[in-house]
Amino acid sequence: MFQKLTIHDVDVSDKRVLVRADYNVPIKDGEIQDDYRITQSLPTLRSLLSRGAKVIVCSHLGRPDGRAKPEFSLFPVAKRLDELLEGTTVSFVDEAVGSKSDAAVEKLQPGELLLLENVRFYPGEEANDDEFAAQLSHGADVFVQDGFGVVHRAHASTDAVTRHVHVSAAGELLEREVSTITRVMEAPERPLMAIVGGAKISDKIEVLERFIDIADIVAVGGAMANTFLLAEGHDVAKSLVEHDDVPLARRIMEKARETAKVRPFVFFLPQDGVVANKVDKNVQTRIVDWSAHVISSIENYPKRPPREASVMQEDEMILDIGPFSAAFVAGSIQLSKTVIWNGTMGVAETESLLGSVGPFAHGTDVIVQAMLGEFGNKPFTVVGGGDTVSYIEGQKLGQAFGHVSTGGGASLELMSGRPLPGVTALTDKEGVQ
């Protein structure tokens, strides 16, 4: 059960409500490329506006390093909110604190929304500065945290600001994110499967170790798998590898082996891969079958596979899991009731010459099909990680999954069992009479 106050526990009628949203969205030439995080904030905003709140919204965008930079302005977000919140007066002010923003807040009427400029235009934001937080609060009666993607940071708009309002509550998005992720980590329907990709093991060491503790199967893909393969003694040629993470990989695999001795548990590394000599949509690819030898045996039947079918050339790199590995992961999904997925299986962002699936995204596409129930079983799915979410949103599949998280780092921290400063700072349910 969620232990913090939510917007439904608080009277907001005619109250000044400051909402921390996460509108860190991709913008190119002033146009928003993906509005997923904006649309996910709408239920909270609509609830507050319909109940007569005067809504002030703050957010960050990018990393402007404490200085105002036009390319990081939230003005395009204000335009999109105006389109999405039809019938609501949406205004924008080109500062987060100061006389102009103070005046704009004073003019705000019940049922209207004001979006402040990027809070990271001010050094006080990332410094968690109390004076900046006091100004940012704009005399609000209620603070609402709904930016799940930033609650793992103790910044002025996630932490210090709560000391300058009477009540701090969670928005609908934040409550749903925390409750869903906590439930699948603490009381999942089993079997529980975790699929982990990405580049650096060190970025996901804690969540990998926790998955070994709680999951029934852990499957690793993406560039991270290359480091595991190297640690196991495989030649990965020019593949992206984090050499400093090799000791971590050995430690994780040793923990996995020990876990498998005491209970049914599988830690799966790719047995084959799609390789090429460069990352390019026009490049010729081939399958290297370094462990399973299933695909190469089929391709060369009735002859024995040649040596090069299981050996990478010096100038080659692994860019996706191979068809045997993808089939194994998809088969494991068929046996699972809960699947947590963080990180694509290959260089999924490379565009395709033909069709919607890129040359290094076939492994990712197969496991997506499995999670969506195209092979029979459809488990409850939780998806996190920026590249993973971007991929499924690019395929227009976001609504097909059980839960698609808006926070990469925050979801990893929560899965790891770490406290989230932006949630800890909110008012406890039992703390208000």
In the chain, the number of structural domains is 2
Kindly state whether residue 398 falls inside one of the protein's structural domains.
yes
Active site residue 409: yes
What is the DSSP pairing of strand 273-276 with strand 266-268? unpaired
Over residues 125-139, the mean pLDDT reads: 98
Q: Which amino acid makes up residue 33?
A: Q
Query: In terms of domains, do 162 and 201 share one?
Result: no
Q: Is residue 427 part of a domain?
A: no
Work out the percent of the chain whose per-residue pLDDT is above 90. Answer: 83
* Same-domain check for residues 169 and 193: no
- What does the alpha-carbon distance between residue 302 and residue 150 come to, in Å, rounded to a whole number? 56
Are the CB atoms for 341 and 221 separated by under 8 Å?
no
Contact by Cβ (8 Å): 56, 165: no
Residue 356 confidence (pLDDT) above 70: no
Residues with Cβ within 8 Å of residue 94, at least 6 apart in sequence:
73, 75, 100, 117
User: How far is residue 151's CA from residue 144's CA, in Å, rounded to a whole number?
Assistant: 12
DSSP 96: S
| Mean pLDDT calculated for residue range 118-138 | 98
- Scanning the structure block, which residue is given the tokens 């990893």? 412
431 pLDDT above the threshold of 60: no
Distance CA 396, CA 342 (A): 18
Rounded CA-CA distance 39/113 in Å is 15
Boundary-marking domain end, from 153, 176, 199: 176
Q: How far apart are CA 255 and CA 302, in angstroms?
A: 40
* Sign of the torsion formed by the C-alpha atoms of 68, 69, 72 and 75: positive
- Distance, in Å, from the CA atom of 244 to the CA atom of 138, rounded to the nearest integer, reads 47
Backbone angles phi and psi of 366, in degrees to 5: -65, -45
- 21-73 pLDDT per residue, tens: 999 999 999 999 989 999 999 999 999 999 999 999 999 999 999 999 999 99
Are 152 and 197 in a shared domain? Answer: no
Residue 281 corresponds to which tokens in the numbers above? Answer: 């949509």
CATH of the domain at 405: 3.40.50.1260
Q: What's the chain's average pLDDT? A: 94
148 pLDDT tier (thresholds 50, 70, 90): very high
Q: Active-site residue among 198, 346, 386, 422?
A: 386
pLDDT at 353 over 70: no
By mean pLDDT, which of 1-5, 155-159, 327-331 is the weakest?
1-5
Q: How many residues does the chain have?
A: 433
Mean pLDDT across the stretch 184-210? Answer: 94
Strands 317-321 and 273-276: antiparallel
Q: Is residue 66 part of a domain?
A: yes
Q: How confident is the model at residue 433 (pLDDT cuts 50, 70, 90)?
A: very low
| H-only helix segments in 75-118 | 75-84, 99-107
Do 17 and 74 share a structural domain? yes
For β-strands 380-384 and 54-58, DSSP reports them as unpaired
Catalytic residue selected from 139, 183, 409, 429: 409
Same domain, 345 and 199: yes
Is residue 433 situated within a structural domain? no
Least confident piece of the model among 166-180, 325-339, 386-400, 410-424:
386-400
Do 356 and 382 fall into the same domain?
yes
Q: Are residues 18 and 165 in the same domain?
A: yes
Q: Is residue 429 assigned to a domain? A: no
Evaluate whether residue 297 is within a structural domain.
Answer: yes
Which pair of structure tokens corresponds to residue 92?
A: 């924008």
Dihedral sign for Cα 57, 61, 64, 68, please.
Answer: negative
Q: Is residue 276 part of a domain?
A: yes
Shared domain check, 135 and 45? yes
Helix (H) or strand (E) segment spanning residue 392: helix 386-394
Distance (Å, whole) CA 211 – CA 266: 11
Element (H or E) spanning 287, and its range?
A: strand 286-288
- Say if CB 194 and CB 340 are below 8 A apart: yes
Residue 149: active-site member: no
Asked if 56 and 105 touch (Cβ cutoff 8 Å), the reply is: yes
Domain final residue pick, 119, 149, 176 = 176
* Residues 302 and 192 occupy one common structural domain: yes
CA pair distance 195, 329, nearest whole angstrom: 8
Catalytic residue among 20, 37, 54, 80: 37
The answer to whether 200 is a known catalytic residue is yes
Question: How far is C-alpha 187 from the chain's CA centre?
Answer: 21
Per-residue pLDDT band at 414 (split at 50, 70, 90): very high
Distance CA 78, CA 59 (A): 11
- The yes-or-no answer on residue 363 being catalytic is no
Q: Residue 355: pLDDT band by 50, 70, 90 thresholds?
A: low
User: Which domain, by its residues, includes 79?
Assistant: 7-176
- Of 112, 143, 176, the position where a domain reaches its end is 176
Q: Which of 200, 255, 286, 429 is catalytic?
A: 200
pLDDT tens string 62-119: 999 999 999 999 999 999 999 999 999 999 999 999 999 999 999 999 999 999 999 9
Residues 293 and 394 in one domain: yes
pLDDT score for 82: 97
Using one digit for the tens of pLDDT, what is the confidence trace for 153-171?
999 999 999 999 999 999 9
- Per DSSP, the three-state class of 384 is strand
Tell whether 193 and 171 lie within a shared domain. no
Residues 74 and 131 in one domain: yes
| Residue 155 pLDDT | 98
Query: Any residues with CB less than 8 A from the CB of 407 and at least 6 apart, and which?
Result: 22, 148, 149, 150, 151, 152, 177, 384
The verdict on residue 315 lying in a domain is yes
Confidence of residue 423 (pLDDT cuts 50, 70, 90): very high
* Residue 92 half-sphere exposure toward CB, CA atoms < 13 A: 14
* Contact in structure between 5 and 172 (CB atoms under 8 Å): no
Is the CB of residue 152 less than 8 Å from the CB of residue 413? yes
Query: Per-residue pLDDT tens for 227-283?
Result: 999 999 999 999 999 999 999 999 999 999 999 999 999 999 999 999 999 999 888
